[in-house]
Amino acid sequence: MGVNEKKAELFESLLSHKGLQALIDTAAHILDNPIFVVDTSMGLICKSTAFVAGESDYSASENQELQLELVAQAADAGYLDWLYKHDQPVIGTFEGQPRYLAARVRDGSIVLGHAVVSEVYRDFDSEDELILPVICQTISFALRRTREVDPGAFDYGPLLIELLSGKRYDESRVLDMLRLFGKRPPASYRVLLFRQVDDSKVASLTYLRTQLFKVFPRSIGIIHAGECVHLVDGSMSLSEIGQKLVGSVYTGGLVIGTSRVFRRFTQLDKAYLQADTTLRLGSRTRLVPDYDDVFCQHIHELIGSGMQDADDVFILPELALIREFDERDGTDHLTDLMVYLNTGRNMSKSARILHVHKNSMYYRIGRIEELTKLDLSDEKTCFLLQLCLAMKGYGPSLAQLEDFPNGNESTS
């Protein structure tokens, strides 16, 4: 069968309207090898029914760790970068396994994912490299018609769902995986949680997520357990987020919960818990409620439940950030902050207790504000910081402060 005959068989399958699975099986028949299609988040869309289970099944639909390992191999070899910039197929190998032939699937300028052929039954030839881009084009037509993939609303499911469930990952590994999936993670994020309360008014969650991607271009979002979980850039204030939602997103029949700003994606489960608490306990009169408004209620709720790591949920992440800077730079800004807050933000008294010049104290507090983006002139912020510090053992009485040792000679 020549290239033209193969094209004709593909177009006949597409025009028969039998669906994506029939088209993929036709492609496998033409290639004499199994084939599968994934979206840009490496989520499996479809694979040929003749696909042999085992090491040659690169789709790894039942093995997330294997899939991530193979994706990392392809990325390290430069194949993924090439794949998503060119229509020309690429031939690659995984150590100790059959070769693969891959090409991107796109709808105009939007890359939907890619198709992968495994060299199981027949060796690749030059015709395979010619016909695979045509196969990818017909797959794009089928996806557009059946809407089996919504270009702008991909699931990053496996990775984010594991993070939401509390599975522990190294932070750098998470960031690398997100980049492999085509995302540029922001320096910090805030979770927005959308939950249905009136089914008669709610548009589809898929449509909601599509709107959110347009309003928050660098965001990451999934639909999980009947809810829309969206991670937006943490540099935006709640008022900015509210303005964007009011102006561009239909939220009828929904309530929204928000978390504080987090800097580690490995704390996504904690951020989700905060957003869930805001949604449950927050004011329904505000479109975008603030977690800090229900912070104390949440403390009471968690302590009452006997949750062992309750403090990890509501301790301000800025305190961990200060500790990281202290360890890196040899400073002791956590103690500086504790003394400053527990003296009623009195610079002179703080400087005297810490045995430093008053100007040094001004510098240190300014440095803390610069590093954390906290506003230490805000009453609520200072109250929450004091409460969190006390819970972590940084809340001495004023009498104890007066006897503070002459040992806090942190670098100014």
CB neighbours (10 Å) of residue 83? 22
The yes-or-no verdict on residue 152 having pLDDT over 60 is no
Residue 291 maps to a domain: no
Evaluated on CA atoms 348, 351, 352, 357, the torsion sign reads: negative
Whole-number CA gyration radius for the chain: 27
CB neighbours (10 Å) of residue 295? 21
Q: Determine the pLDDT at residue 148.
A: 37
Q: Provide mean pLDDT across the span 5-29.
A: 88
DSSP 291: G
Alpha carbons 141 and 107: distance in angstroms, whole number: 8
Q: Coil, strand, or helix at residue 284? A: coil
| Whether residues 182 and 269 fall in one domain | yes
Residue 71 maps to a domain: yes
> What CATH number is associated with residue 229?
3.30.70
| Residue with the larger pLDDT of the pair 5 and 283 | 5
| Whether residues 140 and 163 fall in one domain | no
Q: Determine the pLDDT at residue 107.
A: 79
pLDDT digits 0-9 by tens, 166-189 = 888 889 888 888 877 777 888 899
Alpha carbons 359 and 173: distance in angstroms, whole number: 42
Alpha carbons 138 and 7: distance in angstroms, whole number: 10
| Whether residues 91 and 34 fall in one domain | yes
| Whether residues 161 and 277 fall in one domain | yes
> What CATH number is associated with residue 90?
3.30.450.40
The yes-or-no verdict on residue 54 having pLDDT over 80 is no
Q: Provide mean pLDDT across the span 148-152.
A: 37
Alpha carbons 68 and 57: distance in angstroms, whole number: 13
| Whether residues 12 and 137 fall in one domain | yes
Which of 266, 286, 306 finishes a domain?
A: 286
Share the mean pLDDT of the chain: 80
| Whether residues 139 and 219 fall in one domain | no
Q: Determine the pLDDT at residue 42.
A: 67
Alpha carbons 229 and 248: distance in angstroms, whole number: 18
Number of domains within the chain: 3
pLDDT digits 0-9 by tens, 185-244 = 888 999 999 998 876 665 567 778 877 888 898 899 888 888 899 999 999 999 999 988
Beta strands in 119-253 (DSSP E): 189-196, 220-224, 227-233
Q: Provide mean pLDDT across the span 139-152.
A: 60
> What CATH number is associated with residue 346?
1.10.10.2840
Which of 286, 308, 326 finishes a domain?
A: 286
The yes-or-no verdict on residue 352 having pLDDT over 50 is yes
Confidence of residue 393 (pLDDT cuts 50, 70, 90): low
Domain containing 252 equals 157-286
Q: Determine the pLDDT at residue 123.
A: 92
The yes-or-no verdict on residue 372 having pLDDT over 70 is yes
Confidence of residue 147 (pLDDT cuts 50, 70, 90): very low
C-beta pairs of 345-348 under 8 Å, 24+ apart in sequence:
345/376, 345/382
| Whether residues 276 and 171 fall in one domain | yes
Residue 380 maps to a domain: yes
Entry pTM = 0.50
Q: Provide mean pLDDT across the span 147-168.
A: 66
pLDDT digits 0-9 by tens, 93-133 = 877 678 889 999 987 777 788 899 988 889 999 999 999 99
The yes-or-no verdict on residue 53 having pLDDT over 60 is no
- Region of 125 on the Ramachandran plot (φ > 0 left; ψ -120 to 50 alpha; else beta): beta
| Whether residues 166 and 279 fall in one domain | yes
Residue 312 maps to a domain: no
The yes-or-no verdict on residue 293 having pLDDT over 70 is yes
Q: Provide mean pLDDT across the span 39-46.
A: 71
Alpha carbons 72 and 80: distance in angstroms, whole number: 9
| Residue with the larger pLDDT of the pair 405 and 198 | 198
Q: Determine the pLDDT at residue 98.
A: 82
Length of the chain counted residue by residue: 412
The yes-or-no verdict on residue 252 having pLDDT over 90 is no
- Asked if 276 contacts 294 with a C-beta cutoff of 8 angstroms, the reply is no
Q: Determine the pLDDT at residue 412.
A: 42
pLDDT digits 0-9 by tens, 88-97 = 999 988 776 7
